[in-house]
C-alpha cells in the first residue's frame, strides 16, 4: 500500500503522548563514561528487550548504540494501518536494495530494515507469533542444546507478552484466541483486530465450506498446531503500534544504569588480544555520522543485535568472516569464520490480487487524499477507525498437498509446521506497487515459509558507509518454485469458495493463468520479500565448525562477543519472526545472567544445559 503525501499526518504527530526520552542521548559528548559492562549494538527488536532485562541488575552499566533516529512522534510508525509507509526509502529505513535476482527475472527490489529505535519492530506489520513447537525443537536438535526446545522456551511467554482483552474496540473475542495459552502480565501488548473489514466474515465462512482450510482458534504457535485460518495477533494497543521501544524501553527508561545513544553507527569492533586461545572484541568504534569517530569499551561483553544484515556487516568489517570475502577488500582476517554472511534465509512474498465489486474495498479511500486525511484525523483524536488497526485481520497457514510433497525431503520442521501462508487484505496490498488510480481489489498474499534457497550478505568494501551486497537468492530451488506455485493455487481455491460469490469479479495479471508456466511467471515477475531475513550468523553445536555462534550465542573463536538477533537461527521459522526475535533476547538475558553467576570465563556447555 502506498498513498499520497498527507498533510493531515502532521496533525496527529502533536497528539502523541509517549515515554520520557530523558535517557536517550543524541550526542556522544553526552556520555558520562566510555566504559560499560555491556555494550549492545542495535536498539531493535532483540536489542532493547535484552537491554531491559540486563538493566534489571542495578550493578550493571549498559550502553545501547543505535545508528538510527528516535521513533517518538513519527505518525507512520505509531498508526498501525500506516505500517507500509514506514519503509522503504524513508528516513526510518536502511534503504537497502538486493542485487538482481536470477530466480525473479533478474529484478531488484527494496530490502527494508528499520533504522530507528525499536528497529524493525517499529517498521514491520506487527503480526506476532512464536512459530511452531517443531521450529524450536529442531533448533535444539541442531545445536545440541535442549534449552532451545519449546518445552523450555515457552517459559518466556509469561514475562514477554501482555495480551490485551478486550481489544480497543471492545468487541467480543470469543473463539478468536485461546485465553488459556497467553500471558497477561508481560511487557509487550498484543491485541486482536480493532476494526473489522467486510471480508472478515467471508474468510471465516470459507473455513466452514472448504475442509482444506480449517479454522484455528489460536495461530500464535504457543499450542502445538499452527495450521489453519485464524485471527491475527498484533503488537498494538489503544490504536497504536507497540514496539520494543514503546514496551521494553518504556519500562526501563528511568533506570540510571541504562544509556541509549542514537545516531551512533558502529563501524567496527576492535580486538583486545588473545586469552585462552580466543580473540577478544571488547572495544566498539562508532561514528556520529558526521566527522568524529569514538571508541567505547566493555568490561564484560559486546553484544551484536543489529539484525541479519547489520550484524554480518559489523563482523566482517571487524575481520571476523570468510577470508574469501575479506581478503580482496584488504581487511585482515582476525577470526576465520567462513559461515559469516552465508545461509541467508527469507520468506518470499507474492501478492495475488483479485478485482471486486466497485467500492467494496478500501481502495477508494486509500487513493483519496482528502478521505485519508479524515481517517487519520479520526485516529489522531480518538484512536479509532481503520487507521487504528493492523493492515490485515486474518491469516492462514497450510501445508502443500501430500502428492506434491512426496517427491521432496520435507523442509518443514515437523508435520504441524506450515509450508506457506495466506494473508488477506480488503484492498490492493502490493508493497512494491502503488494503489492503481481506479478499481477495487482484494489481495491474498502468499508467503513461502519453508524456503530451501540460501542467500548471502557480504560487505562491498572496507567503508562502513557502503551498503552491503545482499543476495537473498530467492526462488532458485525446485522446491521453492513449486511450493510457492502451490500457495497461489491454494489462494485461488480459497477465493473460489461460495463465500466469495458476488464479491470477487476477476483476477489481476497472470493470476488468471491455470498453467504451471503461467503461475511461475506470475511469481517471478512480482514476488519480493516479506522482509524476514534470518540465519546469517547461525548457531551450531559447540563442536561444530559449520556455524558462527555457539548455542549460548557467543561468537566462535572469540571471547566477550555475543550475537542476539534473528541472524543466529539455523533455520528461518515458519511464522512471522517478531516473536522469535523477542524470545531469543529473553533467553539470551538468562544465559548471560547464568554465566555471571557461575563464572564469566567458563564457556562450557554446562551453562546452557542445566535448565
Q: Tell me the binding residues for FAD.
A: 45-46, 120, 124-127, 266, 577-578
**Residue 113 to residue 419: CA distance in whole angstroms:** 24
**Which residues are within 8 A (CB) of 145 and not within 5 positions of it... i.e. 6 or more apart?**
541, 551, 552, 605, 608, 609
Say if strands 161-163 and 188-190 run parallel, antiparallel, or are unpaired: parallel
3-state secondary structure of 143: helix
Residue 576 is a catalytic residue: yes
Burial class of residue 382 (count of CB atoms within 10 Å of its CB; 0-12, 13-18, 19+): exposed
Is 7 buried (19+), middle (13-18) or exposed (0-12) by CB count in 10 A? exposed
Nearest to 160 by CA among 50, 80, 254: 50
Residue 227 Ramachandran class (φ > 0 left, ψ -120 to 50 alpha, else beta): beta
Our CA angle for 75, 117, 99, nearest 5°, is 95
Write the DSSP assignment of 252-269 as a string of letters: HTT-TTEEEE-S-EEEEE
In sequence order, which ranges of 302-367 are alpha helices (DSSP H)?
307-317, 323-326, 363-366
Distance CA 258, CA 63 (A): 6
Please say whether the beta carbons of 391 and 426 come within 8 A: no
**DSSP at 386:** G
- For cell 485519508, the residue is 372
> Among residues 561, 600, 592, 568, which one has the least CA distance to residue 278?
561
Between CA 442 and CA 430 the distance in angstroms is: 11
Give the C-alpha separation, 154 to 157, whole Å.
Answer: 6
Cell of 500: 466469495
Q: What secondary structure does DSSP assign to 59-95, as a single string?
A: T--EEEE-SSB--TT-HHHHSGGGGGGT-SSSTTB--
CA distance 495 to 305: 41
* Cα-to-chain-centroid distance, residue 140: 21
Do 233 and 207 touch, CB atoms closer than 8 A? no
Residue with the three cell numbers 553507527: 265
d(C-alpha 44, C-alpha 566), whole Å:
11
Determine which one of 195, 347, 532, 610 is catalytic: 532
**Could you give the CA distance from residue 324 to residue 244 in angstroms, rounded to a whole number?**
36
Catalytic residue among 128, 168, 347, 576: 576
Q: Which residues carry a binding-site annotation?
A: 45-46, 120, 124-127, 266, 577-578
Task: Collapse the DSSP code of 233 into the 3-class scheme (helix H, G, I; strand E, B; otherwise coil) and give the result.
Answer: coil
User: Contact, 424 vs 392, CB < 8 A?
Assistant: yes
Q: Crossing angle, helix 516-526 and helix 478-495, to 10 degrees?
A: 100
Q: Which residues are catalytic?
A: 532, 576
Amino acid at each position: 500500500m502506498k498513498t499520497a503525501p498527507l498533510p493531515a499526518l502532521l496533525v496527529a504527530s502533536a497528539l502523541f503522548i509517549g515515554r520520557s526520552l530523558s535517557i536517550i542521548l543524541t550526542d556522544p559528548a553526552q556520555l558520562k563514561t566510555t566504559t560499560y559492562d555491556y555494550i549492545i549494538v542495535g536498539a531493535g527488536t532483540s536489542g532493547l528487550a535484552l537491554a531491559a532485562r540486563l538493566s534489571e541488575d542495578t550493578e550493571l552499566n549498559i550502553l545501547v548504540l543505535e545508528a538510527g533516529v528516535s521513533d517518538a512522534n513519527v505518525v507512520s510508525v505509531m498508526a498501525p494501518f500506516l505500517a507500509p509507509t514506514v519503509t522503504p526509502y524513508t528516513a526510518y529505513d536502511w534503504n537497502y536494495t538486493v542485487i538482481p535476482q536470477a530466480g525473479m527475472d533478474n529484478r531488484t527490489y527494496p530490502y527494508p530494515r528499520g533504522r530507528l529505535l525499536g528497529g524493525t519492530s517499529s517498521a514491520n506489520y506487527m503480526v506476532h507469533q512464536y512459530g511452531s513447537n517443531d521450529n524450536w525443537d529442531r533448533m535444539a536438535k541442531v545445536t545440541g542444546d535442549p534449552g532451545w526446545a519449546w518445552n523450555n522456551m515457552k517459559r518466556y511467554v509469561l514475562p514477554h507478552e501482555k495480551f490485551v482483552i478486550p481489544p480497543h474496540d471492545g468487541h467480543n473475542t470469543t473463539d478468536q484466541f485461546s485465553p488459556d495459552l497467553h500471558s497477561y502480565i508481560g511487557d509487550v501488548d498484543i491485541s486482536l483486530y480493532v476494526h473489522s473489514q467486510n471480508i472478515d466474515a467471508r474468510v471465516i465462512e470459507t473455513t466452514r465450506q472448504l475442509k482444506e482450510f480449517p479454522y484455528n482458534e489460536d495461530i500464535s504457535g504457543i499450542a502445538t498446531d499452527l495450521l489453519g485460518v485464524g485471527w491475527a495477533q498484533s503488537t498494538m494497543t489503544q490504536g497504536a503500534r507497540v514496539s520494543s521501544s514503546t514496551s521494553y524501553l518504556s519500562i526501563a527508561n528511568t533506570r540510571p544504569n541504562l544509556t541509549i545513544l542514537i545516531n551512533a553507527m558502529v563501524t567496527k569492533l576492535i580486538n583486545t588480544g588473545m586469552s585462552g586461545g580466543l580473540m577478544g572484541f571488547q572495544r566498539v568504534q562508532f561514528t556520529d555520522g558526521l566527522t568524529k569517530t569514538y571508541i567505547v569499551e566493555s568490561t564484560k561483553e559486546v553484544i551484536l543485535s543489529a539484525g541479519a544484515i547489520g550484524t554480518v556487516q559489523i563482523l566482517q568489517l571487524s575481520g571476523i568472516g570468510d577470508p574469501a570475502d575479506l581478503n580482496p577488500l584488504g581487511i585482515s582476517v582476525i577470526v576465520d569464520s567462513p559461515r559469516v554472511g552465508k545461509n541467508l534465509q527469507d520468506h518470499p512474498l507474492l501478492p495475488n490480487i483479485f478485482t471486486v465489486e466497485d467500492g467494496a474495498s478500501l481502495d477508494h479511500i486509500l487513493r483519496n487524499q482528502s478521505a485519508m486525511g479524515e481517517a487519520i484525523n479520526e485516529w489522531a483524536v480518538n484512536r479509532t477507525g481503520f487507521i487504528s488497526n493492523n493492515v490485515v485481520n486474518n491469516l492462514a497457514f497450510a501445508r502443500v498437498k501430500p502428492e506434491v510433497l512426496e517427491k521432496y525431503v520435507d523442509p518443514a520442521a515437523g508435520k504441524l509446521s506450515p509450508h506457506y501462508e495466506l494473508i488477506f487484505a480488503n484492498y490492493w496490498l502490493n508493497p512494491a506497487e502503488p494503489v492503481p488510480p481506479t478499481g477495487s481489489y482484494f489481495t491474498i498474499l502468499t508467503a513461502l515459509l519453508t524456503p530451501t534457497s540460501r542467500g548471502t550478505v557480504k560487505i562491498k568494501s572496507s567503508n562502513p558507509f557502503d551498503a552491503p551486497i545482499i543476495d537473498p537468492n530467492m526462488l532458485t530451488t525446485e522446491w521453492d518454485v513449486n511450493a510457492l506455485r502451490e500457495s497461489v493455487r491454494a489462494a485461488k481455491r480459497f477465493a473460489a469458495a461460495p463465500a466469495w460469490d458476488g464479491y470477487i469479479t476477476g483476477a489481476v495479471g497472470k493470476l488468471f493463468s491455470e498453467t504451471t508456466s503461467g503461475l511461475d511467471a506470475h511469481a517471478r515477475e512480482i514476488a519480493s520479500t516479506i522482509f524476514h531475513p534470518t540465519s546469517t550468523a547461525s548457531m551450531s553445536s559447540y563442536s561444530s565448525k559449520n556455524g558462527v555462534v555457539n548455542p549460548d550465542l557467543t561468537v566462535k573463536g572469540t571471547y566477550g562477543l555475543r550475537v542476539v538477533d534473528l541472524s543466529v537461527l539455523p533455520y528461518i521459522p515458519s511464522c512471522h519472526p517478531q516473536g522469535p526475535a523477542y524470545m531469543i533476547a529473553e533467553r539470551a538475558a538468562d544465559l548471560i545472567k547464568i554465566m555471571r553467576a557461575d563464572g564469566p570465563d567458563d564457556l562450557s556447555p554446562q551453562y546452557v544445559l542445566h535448565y
